[in-house]
Amino acid sequence: MNEFDKLKEKLKEKGFKLTTQRRVILDVIMENKNKHLSSEEIYDLVKRKYPEIGLATVYRTLQLFEELGLVYKLNFDEGRNRYELYQEDAHQHHHLICLKCGNVIEMEGDLLEDLEKLIEKTKNFEIVDHNVKFYGYCSNCRNKV
């Protein structure tokens, strides 16, 4: 099943409608799988394909997509949200944020199983998700003086 069928199905399931705007927004997010686009950036890209769209619609749709589990909301401490496509296979990755150039690098793999098990046990806390960011200096910036 492709992303659009997933969208259609999830919308129907909850009584939401499949609109052109929602289709185009998903389209843009899918075309930028490896990026971490902000709401404004998505708005700008969507406007190229659908110039009549309003900014509020983009915000509303991203929020809806997050609730539907289609996208993942990211926060890199910039005072704005970013989004990436939720991919079952590739979702388990962490973000490495360079303090010098600001680049965001992905570290694939989850590697938190042991820690999560320990937390569930010692805190009796049922973990359903996590958010992990590492701050430091990327290979590029390390090599410069």
Partner DNA sequence: TGACAATTGAAAATGAATATCATAAACTAT
Partner DNA sequence: ATAGTTTATGATATTCATTTTCAATTGTCA
Whichever of 37 and 58 has its CB closer to Zn ion, that residue is 37
Report in angstroms how near the CB of residue 82 gets to a second copy at its nearest: 13
The Cβ-side half-sphere exposure at 49, using a 13 Å CA radius, reads 15
Q: Is 91 in the site for Zn ion (CB under 5 A)?
A: no
The amino acid at 126: E
Annotated binding residue at 67? no
The Cβ-side half-sphere exposure at 50, using a 13 Å CA radius, reads 18
| Residues with Cβ within 8 Å of residue 50, at least 6 apart in sequence | 20, 21, 24
User: Segment near a second copy (CB under 8 A), from 35-43, 50-58, 61-69, 122-130?
Assistant: 122-130
| Conformational region of residue 131, where left means phi above 0, alpha means psi within -120 to 50, and beta covers everything else | beta
Annotated binding residue at 98? yes
Letters for 2-41 (x = contact with Zn ion by CB under 5 A, - = none) are ----------------------------------------
Tokens of 76: 């890199």
Of residues 58-87, which lie at the interface with Zn ion (CB under 5 A)? Answer: 84
**Contact residues for DNA (CB under 7 A)?**
11-12, 15-22, 38-40, 50, 52-57, 59-61, 63, 79-81
